[in-house]
Amino acid sequence: MTTETQTYELGNHPDWEPPSNTTGIIGWLRKNLFSGYVNSVLSLFVFYLLYIYIPPLFNWLFVDAIWGGGSREVCEVEGAGACWAFIDSRFSQFMYGFYPKDLLWRPNTAGLLLVALMIPLFIKSFNYKWMLGGFILVIYPIIAYFLIHGGSFGLGVVETNKWGGLMLTLVLSGVGIVASLPIGIVLALGRRSEMPIVKSVSVIYIEFWRGVPLITVLFMSSVMLPLFFSEGTDFDKLLRAMIGIIMFQSAYMAEVVRGGLQAIPKGQYEAASALGLSYWKSMGLIVLPQALKLVIPGIVNTFIALFKDTTLVLIIGLFDLLAIIQQANSDSAWLGFDTEGYVFAASVFWVFCFSMSRYSIALEAKLHTGHKR
């Protein structure tokens, strides 16, 4: 084959295919995994590590795992992987704690109701989101309280010491967020106030609670709270934990809301004053609706943090999801399956936190429109 020099008229050069090693799978591999010596060695090393660790982990988790069976004998087989029978046999306890079995429909109804109420919030064309949101924040907790705790409408009382598991985790974090939101808003407004005493009281409150670990707050509310009130005031253990969490969380909430207040241009405040609106009217009608919309992702993020932090209540003797798994681990009938318990708890927490954080990111992208400057 002879090589000829071809000449083309100006502008008539045909398009050639890109070199084969820059397209397709090979091109992708060269570009993303093997560009240069260092990267090649690094890629091979990482693949080697994955090859060593991932297949055994996968086998342990799924392939060799024992999925059912009422006692530990089913798991004492040669070569058996994870013993999910342990989780299976205690599942309802992990979800509801010591809640009476025949009354489980009550927390279930409360949960389903919440899910049903939340669905329209994700529908784009639904126009009453603010009203529904208000309903969920204000009315729903009351309904849920009467459903889960009982005490009227012919429902028997279930004492809070029977509550536990994932239900308690959700109750604690839900109450923590809902109750700390209004307090947080007031504190954030106080911190931006021009009245020196109001401002300094808010700053001291916020900085104090943000400066101490939640665990000391819980200790304090369980040890010191009974001392603070006149004798005869009896505090439920759960209520004490809730008060501690709300005080702690409202400080964080205040900082999130303050971020939103600062993001609103000064012109909005001035325009509201120019229209002759009073302080509360200008805040309630002009500034806060815009600011709160901006900080919804921030609120979701503090909710995630709180959701993870509720595990600390086990230290003051409440049985949230982690505590109840910890207790099940020390049960002599199922000794030696700690890892399974922790993996289960971790995956439950992970599913909740990961989906919420994805939601918060999506929301941020959606809401971050009018205020980009």
Residues that bind other proteins (CB under 8 A): 32-33, 35, 39, 42-43, 46-47, 50, 194-198, 201, 207-208, 210-216, 219-220, 223-224, 226-231, 304, 308-309, 311-312, 314-315, 322, 326, 329, 338-339, 342, 345-346, 349-350, 353-354, 357
* Residue 328 backbone dihedrals phi, psi, to 5 degrees: -65, -35
Whole-number minimum distance, CB 105 to other proteins, in Å?
29
> Between 146 and 364, whose beta carbon lies closer to other proteins?
364
The Cβ of residue 50 has, within 10 Å, a number of other Cβ atoms equal to: 10
- How far apart CA 91 and CA 169 sit, in angstroms, is 15
Quote the CA–CA distance of 319 and 321 in Å, as a whole number.
7
Minimum distance, C-beta of residue 357 to other proteins, in the bound complex (Å): 7
- Which residue, 196 or 370, has its beta carbon nearer to other proteins? 196
Q: Cα(65)–Cα(85) distance, rounded to whole angstroms?
A: 9
- In the complex, least distance from residue 311 CB atom to other proteins, rounded to whole angstroms: 4
Q: Which is nearer to other proteins, 53 or 126 (CB)?
A: 53
Amino acid at 279: Y
The Cα–Cα gap between 225 and 20 comes to: 74
User: Which CB sits closer to other proteins, 151 or 226?
Assistant: 226
The region, left, alpha or beta by phi > 0 then psi within -120 to 50, assigned to residue 257 is alpha
Nearer to other proteins, 128 or 279 (CB): 279
Distance in Å, CB of 152 to other proteins, minimum: 31
Least Å distance, CB 219 to other proteins, is 6
SS (H, E, C) 327-341: HHHCCHHHCCCHHHH
Measured from the CB atom, the residue of 261 and 314 that comes closer to other proteins is 314
CB of 190 to other proteins, least distance (A): 9
Kindly state the smallest distance separating residue 69's Cβ from other proteins, in Å.
22
Q: Tell me the chain's radius of gyration from C-alpha atoms.
A: 28
From the CB of residue 101, how many other CB atoms can be counted at a distance below 10 Å? Answer: 9
Give 146 or 219: the residue with its C-beta nearer to other proteins: 219
Give the Cα separation of 193 and 182 in Å (integer): 16
Return the number of the residue (143 or 225) whose C-beta is nearest other proteins. 225
Give long-range contacts, CB 8 A cutoff, 24+ apart: 153-162: 155/106, 156/103, 158/99, 158/100, 158/103, 158/106, 160/236, 160/237, 160/238, 160/239, 161/98, 161/237, 161/238, 162/97, 162/98, 162/99, 162/100
C-alpha span between 37 and 256 (Å, rounded): 46
Q: Residue 112 Cβ, how far from other proteins at the closest point, in Å?
A: 25
